[in-house]
């Protein structure tokens, strides 16, 4: 499969504003997040203690880890607040109609 391909992973009608949905793609858990600025895809794994971010509170473009409270910017994955200090992996996505697709990627 070409890496230019996009893989359908979710539907916008299933993810309300301020909510997220975890999907499993190519062996990676990806969190699809619906924010006021759009929909973003980050790895569903906090870089602090490697637990899922799914269920973390989303405010604006930021998500707060549900375990220890690290904050990440969903637009670029950058860490904004400790105890995490490494950025989140991000994934390119596109939306056609209500279908959310993630660009195919190499496993790390
Ligand atoms: S596991 Fe996310 S801040 Fe500790």
pLDDT digits (tens, 9 = 90+) for 60-100: 999 999 999 999 999 999 999 999 999 999 999 999 999 99
pLDDT digits (tens, 9 = 90+) for 37-65: 999 999 999 999 999 999 999 999 999 99
Place of tokens 């904004």: 80
Euclidean distance between the first and the last CA atom of the chain, given in angstroms as a whole number: 17
Q: Is the pLDDT of residue 1 over 80?
A: no
50 Cα nearest atom in ligand 1: 1
Residue nearest ligand 1's atom 1 by CA: 49
Q: Can you give the pLDDT at residue 51? A: 95
Say which CATH architecture domain 6-103 belongs to: 3-layer Sandwich (2.102)
Q: Is the pLDDT of residue 106 over 90?
A: no
What is the value of pTM for the model shown? 0.93
49 Cα nearest atom in ligand 1: 1
Ligand 1 pocket mutation pick from 47, 49, 50 by most atoms within 8 angstroms of CB:
49
Q: Can you give the pLDDT at residue 42? A: 98
């Amino acid at each position: 499969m070409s890496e230019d391909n996009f893989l359908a992973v979710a539907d916008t009608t299933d993810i309300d504003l301020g909510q997220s949905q975890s999907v499993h793609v190519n062996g990676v858990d990806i969190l699809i997040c619906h924010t006021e600025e759009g929909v973003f895809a980050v790895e569903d794994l906090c870089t602090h203690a490697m637990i899922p971010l799914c269920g973390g509170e989303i405010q604006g473009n930021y998500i707060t880890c549900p375990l220890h409270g690290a904050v990440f910017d969903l637009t670029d994955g950058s860490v904004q607040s400790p105890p995490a200090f490494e950025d989140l992996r991000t994934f390119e996505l596109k939306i056609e109609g209500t279908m959310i697709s993630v660009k195919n990627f190499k496993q790390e």
